[in-house]
Structure 1
């Protein structure tokens, strides 16, 4: 099972975090700090696989990939294959590239909900759902069309009234 997905920049600032088992916010922040400490202390020429038992508990590993200014990190248990997780990071990044035309850190910051939609199409509840970036892009485009249609149905006067009443 996948326990967490993290995207952080090279300064340790988290850009996307998704934990598939409950963690308090303070504990999430501490885990992110500890993962970053491990990543930034590793030389470039070592393996992308790390035993994470000291951070996340027994039977936990993490795999990461460094692209430009971002680290993409998947935390998982022994039921998952390390090479498959590395490939899944590649699928995630390829999908982001297709959706955003050369993904960069700002795309992640300003398109937070779309990023979660993409991730939810690939992984849901800690289980891998889809490994084809083409299929994920199709699903995300369909979701975007449905959202646009739903927004077009609600008249502006009603949507203005709804925003004032909350």
Structure 2
């Protein structure tokens, strides 16, 4: 079972966290601090698995982001690497259609920072992909369709809120 998911920039800034096991805020901060130090200092030729505090941490660097997943000792590291890659491909497909800033299609930190109005899509995709730390949806098309549906709901809510504020301002004049 996946215990947590972290997206960390090369500078050590946390861009996304998702916890599937109960950790206090103090423990979360300690996990992030310790793992950032361990993963960021590892050489690029070393394997993408780290034994840490009775868990295994599987990570992979894409562009300027490290995608990290903490798993149980008995879990398969290669399967988790595939889950990470699957998640990156989903984000790539989503942000690739949003961002015209770069010619390659690898999700990067800029997507999460500058497309802040689309930032929740990273959480939506993760929530559709993993439930309670287990892989639930393996179809990229299905996840993309669900994210698009969520985006349309958000846009409809924004339009409704805008029209309601216009009606209220008209009524108060």
TM-score by length of structure 2 reads 0.81
Distance 1:33 1:159, change over 3 A: farther
Count residues in correspondence: 156
Q: Is 2:107 the counterpart of 1:112?
A: no
1:147, 1:99 → 2: CA distance?
16
TM-score by length of structure 1 reads 0.84
2:161, 2:91 → 1: CA distance?
30
Runs of 5+ in structure 1 lacking a partner?
162-166
SS at match of 1:149: helix
Q: Is 2:61 the counterpart of 1:66?
A: yes
- Deviation per CA, 1:115-160: give whole Å up to 9, x if none: 1111101112212111222221111112222333344344533589
Distance 1:153 1:2, change over 3 A: same
CA apart distance, 1:41:
2.2
Q: How does 1:145-160 map to 2 (within 5 A)?
A: 145-154=152-161, 156-158=163-165
- Stretch moving more, 23-32 or 91-100: 23-32
Distance 1:105 1:155, change over 3 A: closer
Runs of 5+ in structure 2 lacking a partner?
97-104, 169-173
Q: How does 1:12-31 map to 2 (within 5 A)?
A: 12-31=12-31
- Deviation per CA, 1:87-120: give whole Å up to 9, x if none: 0000011011100003221221323322111110
Q: Which residue of 2 aligns with 1:87?
A: 82
